[in-house]
Structure 1
Amino acid sequence: MSTTTELTFDEVLDSLTGYDELAIKSTTDVPLSKMLAADSVHALRAVIGIHTLRETGKSGSKAYQAAYKAAMEMPLSQVRQYFAEPPGDPIPDEPDSTAGKDDSPSDRTTTT
């Protein structure tokens, strides 16, 4: 699975239903709320599984288990790049990035 989405993690997360949350919990034995609080990578993989189901049009616990397994097999680099970046998030101290363009310490003026 090397698909990516133009949606941000938060957009997909906000679209989850109670049934999606139950599918995650029944497959992983961990509620999504606990994953989000303790283990962001595990939460990313769980939500990638839900997004994959929606993209393929499949449903049901067996389908989610297969989608979650595929997300678990993804290299971490792909997991981190799966969701789109939120628009306009500055990247401090990276003046080459569009968002962090005017946010490097050398761009700040100080008055004494």
Structure 2
Amino acid sequence: MADQDTDPRLRWLKPLVIGLSVVFVALIMALIVGLITGVPQRRAEAAKQTAKPVPANLSPAFAEQVLNLPRNSRVADVFASGERIIVRVRLADGTERLFALHSQTLQPIGQLTIQVEK
């Protein structure tokens, strides 16, 4: 009897709301099932693709490496970026020196001295 009292122009509204609600609930359920079943596999595959094996000639023998610093100097900062480690050293005369090291072998790549003009 309530359906007969409603405006004939709005009769399509109730089935539309019910249909959209069913579609919404189905999409949410599909999303939850997809996340639960697919994420562990995708993470494992992504980890395999991004993990780079250490080449045989690059063994991380950290205990054997020595970085010789000038006398009366101190390490100010250490930065890591990609395959580089940058060590900023403040020298006794006030200048700074940057040492670049390979992140896997700790072999020195190069150095840069920063001096202020006097």
Higher CA-based Rg: 2
Greater share of strand:
2
Q: TM (normalized to structure 1)?
A: 0.20
Which fold has the larger relative contact order, with Cα–Cα distance below 8 Å and residues 6 or more apart in sequence? 1
Flag the structure with higher helix content.
Answer: 1
